[in-house]
Structure formats: C-alpha cells, structure tokens
C-alpha cells in the first residue's frame, strides 16, 4: 500500500445541507416555546410493593407530551389545557404498562405497575433509525440489556462482558486473558470473506470506532488484542440495545449488515440530587497454571531415560518468583445525578487500576462523562453528552513475539539444568520482562448533541450530531541491552536495541436528521411517515517510525538510533444516505412498515452508482383482538421482516494505485501496485426474519422466538490477475454468496415473587448454520488461507478447516527412536473433499471405504471455526429482602479450534510425551506428529465448552446501617470460575485475533479467574 493516499469521492456539500436543516429546526423551536399552556398533572409511579420506579415513561395519550420519572418515581407534566381530563400511560421495560384517566390540575396521583417478563409497550432506541419507538410496532427482534440494573448485582469489568451471554445470536470471544484486551464480536454467523464481521457501535446515537485487534503488532507479526469498544466505562451505561442483521439494520445503511449495538449512557433525573461513591477491590489469577500447561519431556543428561519437566515445581524449589503472579485490580468512582423538570444532569468520574498476572501487563484508565438534558418547553428538548477516556495499557509480549507464555508452554526440558535457561524456551520469564516493553497510550473523546422537537401533534423531528475522536500511540521498545547479561538469549540486533512507534488518530463524525409526520386516516387507522438523512465521515491518520541500534545505554528515542525509518498513511471515507419510511397502524395492534434507503460511499468503485436497500415488516399484537380468548397468554405479538443492508469495500480496494520506487539512476519512480476495480460495490446482505414475542401467566414468563435467513451476495473475493494486466497480485471483485440461518430463543421468567423471596430466570439459545453458496467463478485454488488451515469450498462453512486425515500406519521400533511408516490417509469422496459433519466438528471417518498413501491424499473438511449452537442460563435469587444471589452460565458448541500449541510442542520442538513413548499411541496419530508439518489433523480439536461465567452475592444495606444514605450495597463476585470442555488446549476461548476466522491458540494467556468486592453508596 502506498503511503499518504487519500480517497475522497463524495462532493455533495453535506455541511451546507446540514446547516439548512438546522435552520429549519431552530425556526420551529421559537413558536413552540411560546405556545405553552398552563395546565399540569403530577404524581408518583410505584411497583406492587410500593417501591418507587425511576425512569418510567409517562405519556399523555394522543399527544407528544411525555416525561420520565425521577429517582423517587415522581413526575410532573405541564403544558396541558387549563381544564378537563387526560389519559396517562406509563411504560418501562420490566413492567406491564398501566393507563389511568386523571383530571388536569391533579397532584399526588399514584400509578402502580406490576412486574412483567416482557413488555410490548416499552420504548426502544434502535428499532429504526427514525428514533424511539414502541416495541409492539417493530417487525424484528431487538435485544435489550439493562446495564444499570445488571451492574448492581455483577460488577462487570467491560462493555463486551455486559453483552456476552445476554443476547442470543451474539457470539463474544475473549481472545486472551491479558488485562486491557478485548473480544471478537460476531452476530448471526459470518457474512463476509474479507471485510470483517464486527457490528457497528453507537453511543447516544453517534457512531464510534469499533476496531478489533488494536495495539502493537510486533514487526508485522503478532496479535493486537485491544478492542476499542472496551474504552467505554461500564458504570456510565444505562442500557444496550442490539439489532442483529440486515432485516433490522436497513435504515442504518451501508456498513450495518453485521448488526448494530447501540449504547445509551445514563441521563439525569428530576428530583433530589444523588451523590454516588463506589470502589472495587479484587484479584485475578491464572487458576491451576501448573496443572493446565502441559509438561514437556526430555532425556536425563547422558542417558536415554525420559523425564517430565514440571517448571512450576522447579521454580518453586529454586526459590524463584512465581511464573504467573496474582494481579490486583481496583477501581474508584463518583457520580452526581439529579435536576429539575427543565434541566437534568448526570456526571461521573472513574479510575480503573488493573494488573494482570504478568508484571508488564496492566491497565490504568481514567474516564469522565457528563450528560445534560434541557426541556425549555414540553415540545422541545436538547441533550448534550460528552465522554472522555485516557489511559495506558501495558501489553505483555505474547503470541507471535514470545514472552512468559511462549517460554513456559514451549519449555525446553533439555535445558532444565542450564543455569541461564532453567528449562524455559528461549529465555526465563524475567528476561523478556526486563528486555522489552510494549504499551498503548489512549486518549478518546466522544460528544453528541441531540435535539427533539414536537411543534405540533402531527410533526416531530430530531437532529443528532457528534464526533468520536481516538488518539492511539502504540510502542514497542527494546532498549540497548547489557551483552554480559542478555547475550545468551538475543542476537546483536536485539542487544543494540530498537524502537517502533505507531501513532494513530481516528475521527468519526455523525450527522443524523429525521422527521416524522403523523396523521389519523380514520379512528382506527394511523399513518406515520418518516424521512431522514445521515452523513458519516471517517478520517484516519497513521504515523509510524522505527529506529534500530542505539549507540549507548539509556538512549531510547528513535532519533538517537543509528538507522531510522518512517512514514505516514491517511484515509478519508464518507457515507451519505437518505431514507423514507411509511408505517400504517390499525387499532394500534397491526403495524405495516415499508422503507427504502439509498447510500453512496467514497469506497465504492468510480463506476458504481448509489446502492438502494429496501425494507418491509409487519407486526400483529393478536392478543389484543376481541376474539382472543387464551387467558394464560396475555400478550402475543407476531412479526415478520425483510430487509437489506450492506458493507462497503476496503478503503482502497477499488482504487488503482502505484508504489514509490527508486529508478536505476537514483531518481524517484512509481511501479504498479494495486489494479483496482471501478465497478466494485458493497457486499449486500438480504435477510428474512420471522418470530413472535409472548407473555404468559400475567407476563410472568416472557418468550421471544426468531427464525432468520440471511444471504450475502456480491461478497468481495480476491481474483488472480492475468500477467497481461501489467499489475502484480490480485483484484477485488464482487462475486461470492454466503448464507446464514438459525433460530434464536430468549426467555425470562419471574418464577417466584414473594415478600421475602424471589427467583428470576433467563435462558438464551441460538443456532447458526453457515455455508458458502458459491464463489462466483472466482478460483480460490487449493492453497490454505489464514494460519494455513482453511479453504473456501461451496456447500461448506466460510471458516472450514481442511487437512489430510491419517487412518492407519505401522510402527517400527520402540521408544524415542520408533518411527511410523506406511501412513495411509482418507481418500475422501470422488471430488477430493469430504463434507464436515452437521455439528461442524466431527473428525471425518474413512471416505468411501478407501485408503490411499498420504503423499497423494486430499485435504478433507475437519471442522468449522464458527459455533453452531450457543446459549446462556442466568438466575437471580432474592432472599431476606436485602440479599441477591446472581449466577450466569454460558456455552458455545459445534466448532473446532486449531491447537497450535500441540503442533509446536509435538511436531516442531518434539517434546510431547508421545514423542518418547510412541508405542502407547495409535500409529496413525504417531505418523502425524512425526511428519514434517504435513500431517496434522490431530491439532484440530472440538472447542465446545460451558463456563460458570459469573457468580455474585449482593447485600443491600438497610438505611440504618449507614445513616444519611439513600442506598448502599456490598457485592462479592467471581468471574470465569469453572470451564467444562473437552478441548485439547489451554482455553477454548483463547484466540490469536490477528487471523480472524482461523480460531488459533498459540501461547495465548487463557481467560483469568477473578474475585472482587464492590461497594456502592448513594447519598
């Protein structure tokens, strides 16, 4: 890729258009403020036990007037006619809606709500891009996580773990146990070969950077482990809403086909000001490290007697520090929340200081957030939100660069008695810790402004603008080392030191406007027409510099190095989209919705025109029909939706580029680099979704069932270029088709609700069937992809592992010198392949009853790296009024993982037990690990697992315990407590993130067990 290329193809003058929209908004605000009326009503909203319900939405039916209850459940609505009566409707997630007619001027109204496992009248943000909408009108499933409520019982450390296990179809894979690391998030399978499968992330309506795998990549090899999603402070979040595919994401347009995650931060509440202080203290550890890391073998010096080396026991005997320590984690925070009916505010400051189990792994994070909402009139409100995070993450040298895991997992037992190496691979643990330093500095600012205006009953419109600015500094530093101390371990290049630094700045701007026109066609038929436009701009700039060989100790700036290199890179990408949506409702029970969106993006090929995405959906709240007579089913919504969305090509995939070179006479010149494709367009996902939501037995049980079928067409593939093109390599083309389908079930139950005891249960289940439909005639060859293990074959999943499979061999000799001979492999089917089993994991049996010599055997499908079944089960037990016990179990099944630890130990370093006692094993297995890295089906292991993810006990202290407090709680919690799995390696979740689809474990630190105590006090 050439340096400094910028592609900006859009030229619509978006700022001028947005200025005109803003002028229209401001012109309408003035008359609305002057039109206030004098009548009001006020009261309180409580539950069945008389406890106040905060944040409930109280609406005057038939109008746009609505307020939220304060922390004590109080509300007051102004701007009503001076006399008469109004109907008030109260809704909030987790409760059944209630409606009551009251006289204007009334005060002290008491509105009581009953708990419910499902609510069709709750409002959600991400139902459409047009804004807040009742759940009953949305034709697709939206998963909502009440983060504020969840964190009261489970002090979850980051945003990704708030999502994990709480929304069916959302697979969160935590790649490593390092502090500060982030996950790979995939919704409803994999729908792209090369563009990534991460969902879009929004905070308060503004798109934010969702980079996965940020952080240092060691000299072009290694695995960045930081996910930008986890920069957001969990304690600042009120709720998270997830939409899962093109049928739901049509109005989000290009880039939304992988789903959308909308984070809504906490808002102020009218009423008394609340001051909250919190602290968390705890530990994390590599549980049973000595028992989980397999021990390596060698011969006793001067003999042929094998021995098994236990490094952990040896280091303890030698009096050395533990290889992996216990990391301490702490957090401190404070917030203020309150306001009046006219202005409400929330502000918080938090500090997180976390240490990992390796000395050079840590995270220091400082975050500040402030949200202010102003209501100058009942018809107008303005919310301003700003969040800032700053911190430093120390990244322990891991997969791809060595480190403690490398030195220990691949321990060299032959050097057990060597005083320098002590049986470790390459170096003992303290050496790499002292020699190298990796870190990432992060500074991040997000802000947004949202205006909602309801000048008349038939018109409401909204404008959202904001920015996400990320400044990221990644550094790898090897200072000049003392040759007397380090010369045994490193060559002269490393001893003389070097430094690599990459600074990255990413700016994402959001401009989003929509207007909704409502009309009553008749008493029973209502129309809602929404028009809108969005403009998104991304600008990314990178600057990289490297210095090699420092002339003296103590020098560590790049300019001080003997040889220096540098360069910069930047890109600008723009998206402009317009949409039109029409929704017709019949008796507020049947909703028909149709929409269309048109997008252009600067990454599209020059000859590619605007892409158009259609959407249709229907819902029917059948339980409210007069003929409905099933008493134990008190709420039932049927729904169906079809929609399209897309994903843009890579920034420069469509552009013809040249790389700079030096000509023979020393002058600068250019040489062909990337051929480009002027016709290249987006990948387009089309999805059909059908399902129902129901409440049973007075909504004590809620059930949401969905079937989805998604097909991605025009998937981008790399096609070899003919030599006559004059350009090297390949060209990107729209060619492939990928299909995903499955079922999702989300169930919640208020199983027991008594004065002194309660039991709430949740169950999430999801399946996914993924396959390549076709490759559009683009030859993918027979070579391996990614980490050398996958091929693309129509009819099989996108991420299918392939290799030869040994069926038989003969073993000659005994002990270390025994050799497997005459290896025979599975001949496969007549086409040279064998289909993977239905669950994606079963090792194939003999194909067609034939064996052939392995030298000529085909590579067979050995498993799929994408889980085919996942789920979670949660339970909350309330007892003695003030105690809550919470537990979450989650699992993933039906996928295979590449255990590269086994390959390296047994096939490269030759230190497994099997190498020393081959006669105890199947000769076919022995033939594989004795092969020169050609036969290796033994490294593909079933990675299904179940994990006790969270377990906590919370005591809500009675007010008398700490006088003057409104609420205080103490929580004791554990995470990643027990894993149940038959996986051959260390951790079925550990993942070498750089390789994407190839779920490869290679000396990754497994997910760590942690225990914390969390104290929260509100005054």
Gap between the Cα atoms of 395 and 500, Å rounded: 14
CA angle, 491 then 401 then 799, to 5°: 145
pLDDT of residue 13: 44
pLDDT tens-digit map of 297-344? 999 999 999 999 999 999 999 999 999 999 999 999 999 999 888 899
pLDDT above 70 covers a percentage of the chain that reads 91
CA distances from 166 to 206, 753, 888, 1012 (A): 23, 22, 9, 21
pLDDT of residue 842: 39
CA distances from 606 to 7, 10, 63, 653 (A): 11, 11, 48, 11
**Rounded mean pLDDT, 741-753:** 95
Tell me what the pLDDT averaged over the chain comes to. Answer: 87
Alpha helix positions (H), 394-468? 404-409, 429-435
pLDDT of residue 219: 41
Q: Which long-range contacts (CB under 8 A, 24 or more apart) does 321-324 make?
A: 321/430, 323/289, 323/404, 323/408, 323/429, 324/285, 324/286, 324/289, 324/357, 324/358, 324/404
Lowest-confidence segment of 180-184, 557-561, 567-571, 722-726 by average pLDDT: 722-726
Q: Confidence class of residue 265 from pLDDT cuts 50, 70 and 90?
A: very high
Cβ atoms 443, 474 nearer than 8 A: no
pLDDT of residue 993: 56
pLDDT of residue 827: 86
pLDDT tens-digit map of 37-68? 578 899 999 988 788 888 888 989 878 788 88
Identify the residue whose tokens are 């018109």.
459
Residue 171: how many CB atoms within 10 A of its CB? 23
Count helices and strands (H / E) in the chain.
13, 51
Residue 276 confidence (pLDDT) above 80: yes
Give Cα 862 distance to the centre of its chain. 27
- SS3 at position 406: helix
Better-predicted residue by pLDDT, 904 or 126: 904
Closest CA to 358 of 950, 1008, 949, 1012: 1008
Gap between the Cα atoms of 202 and 125, Å rounded: 11
Mark 127-153 as b/e (b = at least 16 C-beta within 10 Å). bbbbbebbbbbbbbbbbbbbbbebbbb
Closest CA to 874 of 57, 15, 153, 97: 153
Gap between the Cα atoms of 98 and 244, Å rounded: 30
Cβ atoms 549, 527 nearer than 8 A: no
Cβ atoms 878, 884 nearer than 8 A: yes
Residue 26 confidence (pLDDT) above 50: no
Lowest-confidence segment of 479-493, 547-561, 660-674 by average pLDDT: 660-674
Residue 27 confidence (pLDDT) above 70: no
pLDDT tens-digit map of 982-991? 999 999 998 8
Gap between the Cα atoms of 235 and 279, Å rounded: 12
pLDDT of residue 839: 41
Cβ atoms 871, 765 nearer than 8 A: yes
Lowest-confidence segment of 147-151, 596-600, 666-670 by average pLDDT: 666-670
pLDDT tens-digit map of 391-428? 999 988 876 677 899 999 999 999 999 999 999 999 99
Q: Extract the tokens encoding 303.
A: 């003999």
**Rounded mean pLDDT, 138-159:** 91
pLDDT tens-digit map of 200-239? 999 999 999 988 777 665 443 445 678 888 899 999 999 9
pLDDT above 90 covers a percentage of the chain that reads 62
pLDDT of residue 25: 43
- SS3 at position 775: coil
pLDDT tens-digit map of 104-143? 988 889 999 988 888 888 878 765 555 678 889 999 999 9
**What residues contact residue 72 under an 8 Å CB cut-off, 6+ apart?**
44, 52, 54, 271, 272
pLDDT of residue 114: 87
Cβ atoms 641, 616 nearer than 8 A: yes
Q: Confidence class of residue 249 from pLDDT cuts 50, 70 and 90?
A: confident
pLDDT of residue 122: 80
**Rounded mean pLDDT, 478-501:** 91
Secondary structure of 536-592 in HEC code, one letter for each residue: EEEEEEEEEEEEECCCCCCCCCHHHCCEEEEEEEEEEEEEEEEEEEEEEEECCCEEE
pLDDT of residue 973: 97
- SS3 at position 312: helix
Residue 496 confidence (pLDDT) above 60: yes
Q: Confidence class of residue 780 from pLDDT cuts 50, 70 and 90?
A: confident
Residue 245 DSSP one-character state: S
Residue 31 confidence (pLDDT) above 50: no
Residue 27: how many CB atoms within 10 A of its CB? 10
Residue 954 confidence (pLDDT) above 80: yes
pLDDT of residue 399: 62
pTM: 0.90
Residue 835 confidence (pLDDT) above 50: no
Residue 84: how many CB atoms within 10 A of its CB? 10
Q: Confidence class of residue 657 from pLDDT cuts 50, 70 and 90?
A: confident
Cβ atoms 309, 413 nearer than 8 A: yes
Residue 149 confidence (pLDDT) above 80: yes
CA distances from 1008 to 285, 668, 934 (A): 6, 52, 34
Alpha helix positions (H), 57-170? 147-150, 159-163
**What residues contact residue 808 under an 8 Å CB cut-off, 6+ apart?**
822, 823, 824, 851, 923, 924
pLDDT of residue 9: 44
**What residues contact residue 187 under an 8 Å CB cut-off, 6+ apart?**
169, 170, 171, 197, 199, 242, 244, 245, 258, 259
**What residues contact residue 483 under an 8 Å CB cut-off, 6+ apart?**
495
Closest CA to 757 of 577, 659, 882: 882
**What φ, ψ does residue 550 adopt, rounded to 5°?**
-85, 135
Residue 881: how many CB atoms within 10 A of its CB? 12
């Amino acid at each position: 890729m050439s340096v400094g290329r910028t592609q900006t193809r859009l030229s619509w003058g978006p700022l001028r258009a947005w200025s005109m929209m803003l002028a229209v908004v401001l012109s309408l605000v003035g008359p609305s403020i002057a039109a206030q009326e004098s009548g009001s009503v006020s009261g309180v909203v409580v539950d069945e036990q008389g406890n106040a319900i905060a944040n409930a939405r109280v609406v005057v039916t038939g109008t746009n007037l609505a307020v939220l209850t304060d922390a004590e459940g109080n509300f007051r609505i102004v701007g009503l006619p001076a006399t008469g009566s109004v109907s008030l409707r109260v809704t909030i997630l987790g409760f059944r809606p209630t409606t009551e007619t009251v006289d204007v001027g009334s005060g002290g109204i008491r509105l009581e709500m009953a708990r419910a496992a499902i609510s069709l009248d709750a409002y959600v943000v991400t139902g459409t891009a047009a804004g807040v909408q009742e759940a009953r009108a949305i034709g697709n499933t939206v998963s909502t996580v009440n983060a504020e409520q969840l964190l009261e019982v489970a002090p979850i450390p980051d945003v990704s773990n708030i999502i994990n296990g709480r929304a069916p179809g959302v697979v969160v894979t935590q790649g490593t146990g390092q502090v500060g690391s982030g996950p790979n998030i995939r919704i409803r399978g994999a729908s792209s070969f090369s563009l990534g499968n991460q969902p879009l992330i929004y905070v308060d309506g503004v798109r934010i950077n969702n980079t996965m795998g940020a952080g240092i990549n060691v000299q072009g090899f290694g695995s960045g482990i930081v996910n930008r999603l986890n920069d957001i402070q969990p304690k600042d979040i009120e709720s998270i809403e997830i939409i899962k595919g093109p049928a739901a994401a049509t109005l989000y347009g290009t880039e939304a086909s992988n789903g959308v995650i909308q984070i809504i931060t906490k808002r102020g509440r009218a009423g008394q000001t609340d001051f909250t202080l919190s602290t968390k203290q705890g530990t994390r550890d590599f549980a049973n490290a000595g028992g989980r890391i397999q021990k390596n073998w060698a011969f006793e010096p001067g003999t042929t007697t094998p021995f098994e080396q236990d490094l952990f026991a040896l280091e303890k005997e030698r009096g050395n520090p533990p290889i992996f320590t216990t990391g301490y984690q702490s957090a401190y925070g404070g917030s203020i929340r309150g306001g009046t009916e006219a202005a409400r505010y929330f502000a918080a400051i938090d500090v997180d200081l976390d240490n990992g189990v390796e000395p050079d792994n840590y995270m220091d994070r400082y975050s500040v957030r402030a949200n202010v909402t102003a209501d100058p009139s009942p018809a107008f409100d303005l919310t301003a939100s700003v969040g800032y995070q700053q911190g430093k993450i120390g990244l322990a040298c891991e997969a791809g660069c060595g480190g403690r895991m490398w030195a220990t997992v691949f321990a060299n037992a032959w050097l057990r008695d060597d005083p320098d190496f002590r049986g470790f691979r390459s170096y003992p643990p303290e050496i790499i810790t002292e020699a190298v330093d990796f870190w990432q500095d992060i500074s991040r600012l997000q802000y947004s402004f949202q205006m909602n205006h309801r000048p008349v009953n038939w018109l409401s419109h909204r404008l959202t603008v904001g920015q996400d600015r990320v400044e990221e500094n990644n550094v790898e530093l090897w200072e000049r080392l003392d040759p007397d101390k380090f010369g045994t371990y490193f060559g002269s290049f490393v001893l003389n030191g070097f430094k690599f630094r990459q600074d990255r700045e990413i700016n994402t701007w959001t401009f989003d406007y929509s207007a909704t026109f409502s009309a009553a066609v008749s008493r029973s038929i209502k129309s809602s027409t929404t028009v809108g436009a969005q403009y998104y701009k991304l600008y990314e700039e990178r600057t990289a510099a490297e210095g090699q060989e420092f002339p003296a100790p103590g020098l560590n700036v790049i300019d001080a190095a003997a040889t220096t290199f540098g360069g910069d890179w930047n890109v600008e990408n723009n998206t402009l989209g317009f949409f039109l949506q029409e929704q017709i409702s019949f008796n507020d029970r049947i909703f028909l919705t149709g929409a269309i969106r048109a997008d252009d993006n600067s990454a599209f090929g020059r000859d590619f025109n605007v892409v158009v995405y259609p959407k249709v959906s229907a819902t029917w709240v059948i339980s409210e029909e007069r003929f409905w007579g099933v008493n134990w089913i008190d709420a039932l919504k049927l729904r169906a939706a079809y929609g399209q969305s897309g994903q843009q090509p890579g920034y420069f995939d469509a552009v013809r580029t040249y790389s700079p070179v030096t000509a023979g006479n020393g002058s600068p010149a250019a040489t062909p680099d990337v051929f480009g494709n002027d016709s290249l367009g987006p990948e387009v996902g089309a999805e059909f979704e059908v399902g129902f939501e129901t409440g049973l037995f007075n909504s004590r049980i809620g059930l949401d069932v969905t079937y989805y079928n998604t097909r991605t067409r025009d998937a981008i593939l790399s096609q070899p270029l003919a030599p006559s093109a004059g350009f090297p390599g390949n060209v990107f083309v729209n060619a492939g088709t990928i299909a995903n389908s499955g079922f999702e079930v989300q169930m919640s139950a208020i199983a027991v609700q008594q004065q002194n005891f309660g039991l709430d249960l949740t169950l999430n289940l999801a399946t996914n069937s993924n396959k390549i439909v076709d490759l559009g005639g683009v030859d993918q060859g027979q070579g391996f992809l990614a980490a050398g293990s996958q091929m693309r074959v129509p009819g099989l999943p996108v991420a299918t592992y392939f290799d030869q499979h040994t069926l038989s061999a003969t073993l000659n000799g005994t002990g270390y010198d025994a050799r497997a001979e005459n290896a025979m492999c599975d001949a496969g089917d007549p086409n040279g392949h064998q289909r993977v089993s239905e669950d994606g994991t079963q090792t194939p049996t003999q194909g067609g009853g034939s064996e052939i010599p392995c030298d000529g055997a085909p590579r067979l499908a050995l498993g799929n790296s994408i889980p085919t079944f996942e789920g979670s089960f949660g339970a909350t037990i309330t007892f003695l009024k003030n105690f809550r016990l919470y537990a979450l179990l989650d699992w993933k099944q039906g996928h295979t993982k590449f255990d590269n630890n086994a390959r390296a130990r047994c096939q490269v370093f030759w230190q497994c037990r099997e190498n020393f006692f081959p006669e105890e094993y199947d000769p076919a297995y022995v033939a594989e690990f004795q092969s020169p890295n050609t036969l290796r089906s033994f490294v593909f292991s079933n990675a299904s697992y179940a994990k006790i993810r969270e377990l906590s006990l919370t005591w809500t202290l009675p007010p008398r315990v700490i006088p003057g407090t409104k609420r205080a709680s103490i929580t004791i919690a554990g995470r990643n407590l027990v894993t149940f799995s038959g996986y051959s390696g260390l951790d079925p979740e550990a993942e070498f993130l750089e390789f994407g689809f190839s779920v490869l474990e290679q000396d990754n630190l497994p997910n760590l067990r942690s225990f914390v105590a969390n104290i929260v006090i509100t005054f």
